[in-house]
A and B are shown apart, each in its own frame.
Chain A
Amino acid sequence: MKIESDILLSGSNLASVRGGRVVYTGLNIQLMAGALITLEGPNGSGKSTLIRQLAGLLSLTAGTLQIAGLDVAEDPGARSDSLHFSGHTNGLKPAFDLATNLTLYSETVLGFRPNRSVLEAATASFDLAALLDTPIRYFSSGQQHRSALARLGLAHRPIWLLDEPTVGLDQANRDRLRTQIELHLAAGGGAIIATHDDLGIAGDILQMTEFRGGRDDPEAWLWD
């Protein structure tokens, strides 16, 4: 039975038009507490676009989106306390060490100053605690990606929006990521993850190709 307050995120009739092309249309998505939704589909099917739209980095072309029970069109601040977003880029400054990077992120994006134990706990989840005081410019690309993922542990946010989180990770770190996601779900959080890999966690699959804008679509003229 679905209880209203268990719905973390609810989007209905979402659509996206990119460069005059309908990427998807009529897309409905509902994320419940403790649930995982995996976005599947070939390159260009709109996985990243949907993740960015849910995060608020792209405006809604159509449809409505509710986060934590609030309509984001009326209450744009609804999102900032509710979600973690992790995209293709890592957002790290090479000149600063990992601890400084995480502190700057936490202060400017999450809105609090983390103490050393928070930083150590967050980085330990991805086996980076020993590198806290190493400048990012000495990190391998895999280590940089793990540093970006370590932000997920800085503060609790009920909704995780992850875009290709497994790219560049070896098996041991994929397992660490899986552990983090499982802990998050067990604590009542939800996650929407775009990936081509099998995460090994039970969850729903959203097949992006089902929402492709067809030629019989009212916006079909937008197809080149």
Chain B
Amino acid sequence: MGLMRVFAAVVRRDMKLAWSQGGAGGLSIGFFVIAISLFPFGIGADKDLLARIAPGTVWVVAMLAGLISLDRLYQADFEDGSLDGLLLSPLPVELLVLAKTLAHWLAIILPLALMAPLAALLLNMTADGLLWLAVSFLVGTPTLSLLGSVGASLTVAIRRGGVLLALLILPLYVPTLIFGTGVVLAAESGADPTPALALLGAVSLISLIVSPLASAAALRMAAE
């Protein structure tokens, strides 16, 4: 019971930080909306083409938008010393990592998931597509935070580790990208989107198991 209270306190703390001055919440959403809206300008008013690239575009831009906030996930606390305090909290490091990752998802990625159908509207996505895009985001985006946490903890002690973080993490996002767009493409073509959705959920579940263990190990090493 006590541990759950501390867990909830860490989640609240990080959500508060994400949306405070200097937090990444607003930045990520702003980047997401602006980057998506650039595509129609670059590609032109070819509605069919826009509709065809819409699922992949929205997923890729969401991944990049999440990446903007990830390099500060542990680094901000590492630099100002508050990570020392958190590592001394009664929470096991694995749960601490999970709490911070959950806060990242709730504060930064979930708003992106809610914005995604609106953004996809700019790309002329069909109504069926919009619905399944939202579903695929809810099922698939936890992976963005979970695997991102592994990269963020590995690069926590590296100055300007953001680029390295992108190189580490983006390849790991490939399964999520394939199955995430697969869900939307299947729904739009009238096929059954649930097999792709199940695989997307499986990737999220695997990340849920791997991420806390790997991130905790990397953070312990960084504190050394």
Contacts and interface: CB of A to CB of B under 8 A. Distances in A.
A108 B20 contact: no
A107 to B, nearest CB: 4
B85 interface: yes
Contacts of A91: 77, 80-85
Interface in B166-224: 220, 223-224
The B interface is mostly helix, strand or loop, or mixed, namely helix
Nearest to A80: B90
Contacts of A55: 84, 88
A87 to B, nearest CB: 6
Contact of B88 (A80, A89, A94): A80
B82 A93 contact: yes
Given A58-B224, A88-B81, A107-B13, A95 B88 contact: no
Contacts, number: 81
Nearest to B2: A111
Of A85, A93, A105, which is in contact with the most chain B CB atoms at under 10 Å from its CB? Answer: A93
Interface in A80-128: 80-81, 83, 85, 87-96, 104-105, 107-111, 113
How extensive is the interface on chain A, given as a class?
Answer: 20 to 34
B84 to A, nearest CB: 6
A90 B77 CA distance: 11
B110 interface: no
A33 to B, nearest CB: 21
A86 to B, nearest CB: 9
A88 B85 CA distance: 12
A77 interface: yes
B90 A58 contact: no
A57 B89 contact: no
Interface stretch (B4-12, B119-127, B136-144): B4-12
B81 A108 contact: no
A127 to B, nearest CB: 22
Interface in B1-46: 2, 5-6, 9-10, 12-13, 16-17, 20-23
A11 interface: no
A113 B9 CA distance: 9
B9 A87 contact: no
B81 A57 contact: no
Given A93-B17, A95-B21, A108 B80 contact: no
B86 interface: yes
Contacts of B10: 108
B81 A93 contact: no
A85 B17 contact: no
A109 B90 CA distance: 7
Contact of B5 (A77, A87, A111): A111
A95 B20 contact: yes
B87 interface: yes
A87 B82 CA distance: 10
Nearest to A100: B16
A104 B13 contact: yes
B80 A92 contact: yes
A111 B88 contact: no
A214 to B, nearest CB: 24
Given A55-B88, A95-B21, A108-B89, A89 B223 contact: no
Contact of B6 (A57, A92, A96, A108): A108
B88 A109 contact: yes
A76 B79 CA distance: 25
CB-CB nearest 4 A-B residue pairs: A89-B81, A91-B82, A107-B9, A91-B81
20 contacts: A55-B88, A57-B223, A58-B224, A80-B88, A80-B89, A89-B81, A89-B84, A90-B81, A91-B83, A91-B84, A92-B80, A92-B82, A93-B17, A95-B17, A95-B20, A105-B85, A107-B13, A108-B6, A108-B10, A108-B13
Interface of A: 55-59, 76-77, 79-81, 83, 85, 87-96, 104-105, 107-111, 113
Given A91-B77, A92-B82, A111-B2, 14 more contacts: A55-B88, A77-B90, A79-B88, A80-B89, A87-B81, A89-B79, A89-B84, A91-B81, A95-B20, A96-B16, A108-B85, A108-B86, A109-B86, A111-B5
